[in-house]
Amino acid sequence: MTTGVWLIGARGSVAVTSMVGATALRAGLAEPLGCVTELPELAGPALPGLAELAFGGHDISDITLEKKVENLVAAGVLPARPAAAVADQLAGLQRELRPVPSAETQLEVARLIAQDIDDFRRRRGLERVVVVNVSSTEPIFPAGPEHETLAALETALATGGQVLPPSSLYAYAAFTAGCSYVDFTPSTGARLPALRELADREGLPYAGHDGKTGETLVKSVLAPMFAMRHLRVRTWSGTNLLGGGDGANLADPAANAAKATSKQRVLAETLGYQPQGTSHIEYVDDIGDFKTAWDLITFSGFLGTQMRMEFSWHGCDSALAAPLVLDLARLTAAAHAAGRGGALTDLAFFFKDPIGEVPHALAEQWAALVGFVRGLHAPA
């Protein structure tokens, strides 16, 4: 049972770390740290093995995987040893990467994207393919009446013009190709009614949005702690310094806006009110992939006594994201195999901005995830 993972943004840091990492793990070169689906609570027969994943994808960049791996090693994201050990497999991985097709209308582009994915499936004899969006974060996209129904959408797509942002066009193409779809970014992706109609019609699962890897992960356990202790959070103010590919892109205020919104949602949802403060993102080239986040939290306790907490987090963004990409691919493929269509709200554990009315406290998300996976493993 081989499962395909088709990565949008396949030459980016997260995608390449995922592919190289899966290759190194398959070769037994490292423990599967960071892979949630390798924990005893989640492992089991329903999930495709790490060794059974086949990778391909689209990217607008033509940087070679050799060069990208070299950069990731220099930046300390990929350790030198496993990277060297898989060097001879990079050419094979690279053969499965495709440039983004272009055409007169977005409908035609979507058809070509779907065809690339379908070719991959046939060529590699895959049972199913999960499309995972790990491409650059897009500016916030305004939805209109043409995104309300599938019929309206397909009419619009056929006329030319930019009807869908890239993330959503990939989602459309994925669904028409019979694939499930995971949005690891804060971009629009499958979030439009017309696309959900399509996924539902086809019985295809989808998950998102925006992988939860750093500051928000910490928030998702600290905010519930304050709530459970009846401590009133007054200020929660965060600064995120990051470089790397996505950092440069997030320096654009439009893309930044989408991300900053994702990052604060957890507070209002777990505290029941919105404390003061914002989540500030700043691009610092020198920091590279080793993001530094600093958060200040001020809170009131018994009789109004003022207290405070600070944390700083020095995480390697791609090293935190890559194993989650593998987890999400395995879980979504298993859901697809089990006939689960529609929004996979039980995967909220993985996302900053999860789909649906779901808990935002990490422990509750974990409980939902464990229940979901047990359901998959259980004999029908």
Tell the burial category of 106 from Cβ atoms under 10 Å away from its Cβ (0-12, 13-18, 19+). Answer: buried
Residue window 298-337: x/- pattern of binding to a copy of itself, with contact defined by CB under 8 A:
x-xxxxxx-xxxxxxxxxx--xx-xx--------------
Site for a copy of itself in 15-54 (CB under 8 A): 17, 21, 24, 29-36, 38-39
CA distance 84 to 30: 13
Sign of CA dihedral 89, 15, 169, 1: positive
Residue 208 Cα to chain centre, angstroms: 7
Give the angle subtended at the CA of 318 by the CAs of 15 and 266, to the nearest 5°. 110
DSSP of 346-362, one letter per residue?
Answer: GGGGGBSS-SSS---SH
N-terminal to C-terminal alpha carbon distance within the chain: 18
Contact segment (CB under 5 A) with Na ion among 12-20, 60-68, 80-88, 309-317 equals: 309-317
Q: Residue 122's binding partner, choosing from ligand NAD, Na ion, a copy of itself, none, with beta-carbon cut-off 5 to 8 A by kind?
A: none
Site for a copy of itself in 225-264 (CB under 8 A): 225, 228-232, 234-235, 237, 239, 241
**CB contact at 8 A, 367 and 375:** no
Q: Of 81 and 123, which CB lies nearer to a copy of itself in the complex structure?
A: 81
Site for ligand NAD in 3-22 (CB under 6 A): 8-9, 11-14
Residue window 51-90: x/- pattern of binding to a copy of itself, with contact defined by CB under 8 A:
-------------------------xxxxx-x--------
Q: Of 159 and 276, which CB lies nearer to a copy of itself in the complex structure?
A: 276
**CB contact at 8 A, 104 and 160:** yes
Name the DSSP class of 139. Answer: P
Name the DSSP class of 138. Answer: P
Among 136, 168, 240, 279, binds ligand NAD (CB under 6 A): 136
Least Å distance, CB 331 to ligand NAD, is: 17
Q: Which residues bind ligand NAD (CB under 6 A)?
A: 8-9, 11-14, 58-61, 100, 134-137, 166, 184-185, 210-211, 213, 244-246, 249, 317-318, 320-321
